[in-house]
Each structure stands twice: as C-alpha cells, then as structure tokens.
Structure 1
C-alpha cells in the first residue's frame, strides 16, 4: 500500500533542501511524487528557483534561509484563484 501524497505545506518544508540536493532518497521520491500531482507546487518550485537565481545574481544568497510561510500561502492561494 502506498503512502498518501505529502501536503502542500509539507512540500514547502522540504523545498529548500530539495533545490539544494539535500533530501534523502525517500524524501526526494515523496517530494517528486507530490510534484507530479500538484500543478500549484510545480509553479511554486519554478518561482522559488527563479527568485533564488535572481537573489544570487544580486549577491543576496545569504538572505534566503528558507521559505516564509506567508509566501507559501500567498503563492498557493494565487494559483487556486487563477
């Protein structure tokens, strides 16, 4: 029996570690399984990557220690309303 998909909130908690390649195999597979089923989180991941690249280009890489909950909520809400 397979495990249920992780929630969008759980997804957001793993996001920075996924992007940095720091998830273990099981966590990475669960994360990618969620991605395959959730277009809102795919868009969120793409937005996160663009923002991270831009911040690094501007020399602000230390200013991104994690993803604020408010940002997660705002992105997910905007995707649901789109």
Structure 2
C-alpha cells in the first residue's frame, strides 16, 4: 500500500508541473522570502502553496529556511543585547587605544 501511495505521489508531482502557471522548484526558491513576508499576490500565493502540497523537497527546504531565519534573528538579538551592555567609556578607551 505504501509503495502505491508513493507511486501516485510521484505521478501527481510530475503532472502538477505541467499545469499552466505552475512553478518549478527553482522558481519556488525565488518566492520564499516574499511568501514568508506575505507579499505574494493572491494568485502567485495559491500556486506557491500548491507547489508546497505536491513537493516534499520544497516543504523540507521551506522548513529549513524558516529555522535559519529564526536562528539569524536570535543571533542578532543576542548581539544587540551584548552591545547595549558594554559601557560607553570602555568603547571609547578601546577606540582611543586602537588609534594610537
């Protein structure tokens, strides 16, 4: 049963990419950021989400992309907090020593 489901999924995947307006995996990558920022026009968003439903690789890619963005945001937040905690006089002393 599992093999039959996989075969059907592969066939559907191939058929879906022949529909007019359907995007390829490469095109999918081009639209990820706009999708996540909710900036895709409604028709493009529907095509993007349809591609997501039929393409496991792109679902995995999107999940990894979201994790990467979250890690980058967390790192930036940590850096901003660290930078805010450094005393101004210490920064001035380091810059003065560097310039001399």
The TM-score by the shorter chain falls in which range?
A: 0.5 to 0.7
Q: Secondary structure at the match of 2:23?
A: coil
Q: Are 2:60 and 1:40 equivalent residues in the alignment?
A: no
> Gapped runs of 5+ residues in structure 1?
61-82
Shift of 1:38: 0.2
Which one has a larger percent helix, Structure 1 or Structure 2? 2
Match of 2:34 among 9, 13, 17: 17
Shift of 1:4: 5.1
Q: Tell me the residue number matched to 1:58.
A: 75
Answer with 1 or 2: which has the greater Rg.
2
Which one scores higher on RCO, CA 8 angstroms, separation ≥ 6?
1
Q: Is the 8 A contact 2:21 2:47 kept in 1?
A: no
Normalised by the size of structure 2, how large is the TM-score? 0.56
Q: Tell me the residue number matched to 2:47.
A: 30
Normalised by the size of structure 1, how large is the TM-score? 0.67
Shift of 1:3: 2.1
> Gapped runs of 5+ residues in structure 2?
1-18, 78-100
Moved over 6 A (4+): none
